[in-house]
Copies of this chain bind each other. A is one copy, B any other.
Amino acid sequence: MVSQNDHAVSVTNLLEKAVGRWPDSPSVTYEGHTFTWQQTGERCQSLAWALAGLGVGVGDRVAYLGFNSHWCFELFFASPMAGAITVPVNFRLSVDEMVDCIRDAEPTVLLVDPHHIEQGRAISRECPWLKAVVYTGDESAPDGFLSYEDLLKRAEKSDLQQSGNDDTLIIFYTGGTTGRSKGVMLTHINLFTNGLGGLSLYNTVERETHLMAGPMFHTAAGSRVYTATMMGTHTVILSKFDVLEMMTLVEQYRINTMQLVPTTLQLMVDHPQFAEFDLSSLRMITYGAAPMPVALLERALTLLPGVSFAQSYGMTEASPVVTVLDGDDHSLEARRLPRLESVGRSVFHNHVRIVNEERQALGVGDVGEIAVKGANIMKGYWRAPELTAAVLQDGWYYTGDSGYLDEDGYLFLVGRIKDMIVSGGENVYPIEIENILSRHPDISECAVIGVPHEKWGESVHAVVRLKDDAVVSESEIISYCRERIAHYKCPTGVTLMAQPLPVSAVNKILKSELRRMISGDAE
């Protein structure tokens, strides 16, 4: 069968379109400098040729270690133009962990930003197969590094074989909250589907201005590179998360949309200078990566009255959006409040169901593992067929999250399956207690975990950080819960923390860390 059009789905097509349709519109702003789509298109093309010149071929990997930057944005297109795979490295890892990641991905070329020179050198020593280490900065490159900007100037045209369709486009390493990190292979189809499928949900229009606030090594922000290009969006890049810088950029560039996690939303609305900024250009804030405490959402709806909120629930393996709770469902009307505790309904391109331990579908209201199927589901884990087979079966991805669906298809999370507490034979879902605690006026942050208990198997334990100057005792916290939910669900122990709770790269609270701290449980 003749197939003349075998790369119909390609992010390269999206870039080509943005250049053709909006050549003089802003594409990316980074540290005060703004590029146009025409310029970004030319830079990506030159980088693709430069990579080929360095020996990068079809299926090879190119890694990026650095904070968010226009260089990272450009690599996201140059790799597929050269048939290669982008590997963004989590800059929060220790050097040893970075080396592990690079050994696993085995890239041909590594790009390093000015903030990670030492780590780049260390990786370079440990990974002798690297054909080049490239410095992404405007200044001249340090010893041992090639200059990105020089490479672009010197790049020679060549014929490149682009990737497309179900070729791997990016490998995102999931920090996960436990266990060794895994390389999630996302294809052109996966990220194109996530982008296209999101348009109807976010009421997105052409050429808005988006603040890239999260780290691009994570799919929640990284996937936005492609969505932005599809829409001709102007992406203002926040190099590394800082709440003051974030509010400054929103005011300066009249940002329309941005993406947060609950922790950063909390930091923003709690910031002493919050009221000093003109944030009136904001049209929509999407948030995700962790359940939103209802008390915080209520506060944000009050403080940012012109903004529409959309929650998305997802994970790297789903490129990442699985469900969306849209603007209409963010209502403080009493009868609609229960919806705020849901993560919304599955997007049109995927299918969510709840299954039991035998992976059989359960009914409305039954709690079980959340499974997802659709064109957004990863190809698999990089070089880990057993791990892939453990979670992917007949197109279904088994998330390890537990939850239930209501009769209208709204999904309610009850936590990670492994975070579920079994106390005296009763299942206790931490989120329920966390929702109660987060409404307490003196509590700033909280997490509920199970700790080993001789008699009950596990007991419920709350880890709490109070607001500045607040004084509440452990027993008062326990009593507060007992007035509100069944006793068997209430914490029997409370740990008050002076410091912020430990979080992962995407600001998810690390419960594994807390369990280690509280009970010495090594998992």
Contacts and interface: CB of A to CB of B under 8 A. Distances in A.
Nearest to A388: B4
A373 B16 contact: yes
Interface in A170-211: 185, 187, 189-190, 192-193, 196-197, 199-200, 203-204
Contact of A8 (B189, B197, B385): B189
Contacts of A348: 196, 199, 230-231
* Most chain B CB inside 10 Å of its own CB: which residue of A20, A193, A395: A395
Given A193-B196, A348-B199, A379 B166 contact: no
A293 B393 CA distance: 52
B190 A200 contact: no
Contact of A380 (B2, B187, B375): B2
Interface string A357-401: 000010000000000011111111001010011001001010000
Interface residues of A, number: 56
A519 interface: no
B168 A165 contact: no
Nearest to A188: B375
Nearest to A376: B8
A487 interface: no
A3 B199 contact: no
Given A13-B374, A395-B13, A3 B200 contact: no
A187 B388 contact: no
B20 A377 contact: no
Contacts of A6: 166, 379
A339 to B, nearest CB: 15
B193 A200 contact: no
A465 interface: no
A283 to B, nearest CB: 15
A7 interface: yes
Contact of A1 (B4, B168, B230, B395): B168
A16 B351 CA distance: 8
A462 interface: no
Contacts of A351: 13, 16-17, 20-21
Contacts of A374: 8, 13, 17
Contact of A385 (B2, B9, B168, B375): B2
Contact of A20 (B231, B353, B380, B388): B353
A19 to B, nearest CB: 10
A129 to B, nearest CB: 19
Contact of A395 (B8, B197, B350, B383): B8
A2 B390 CA distance: 13
A8 B375 contact: yes
Contacts of A306: none
Nearest to A230: B348
A409 interface: yes
A196 B380 contact: no
B361 A8 contact: no
A349 interface: yes
Nearest to A9: B375
Contact of A166 (B3, B199, B349, B350): B3
Contact of A361 (B20, B59, B373, B389): B20
Contacts of A499: none
A349 B380 contact: no
A196 B4 CA distance: 23
A273 interface: no
Contacts of A197: 196, 199
Contacts of A203: 200
A213 to B, nearest CB: 23
Contacts of A187: 8
A5 interface: yes
Contact of A193 (B9, B204, B346, B409): B9
Contacts of A385: 2, 4
Most buried by B among A10, A204, A375: A375
A1 B106 CA distance: 14
16 contacts: A1-B168, A4-B379, A8-B166, A8-B187, A8-B193, A8-B375, A9-B189, A9-B375, A10-B395, A17-B351, A17-B374, A20-B353, A21-B351, A189-B189, A196-B196, A200-B204
Interface of A: 1-10, 13, 16-17, 20-21, 59, 165-166, 168, 185, 187, 189-190, 192-193, 196-197, 199-200, 203-204, 230-231, 346, 348-351, 353, 361, 373-380, 383, 385, 388-389, 392, 395, 397, 409
Nearest 7 pairs of A and B residues by beta carbon: A17-B351, A199-B200, A200-B200, A2-B385, A9-B375, A4-B392, A4-B380
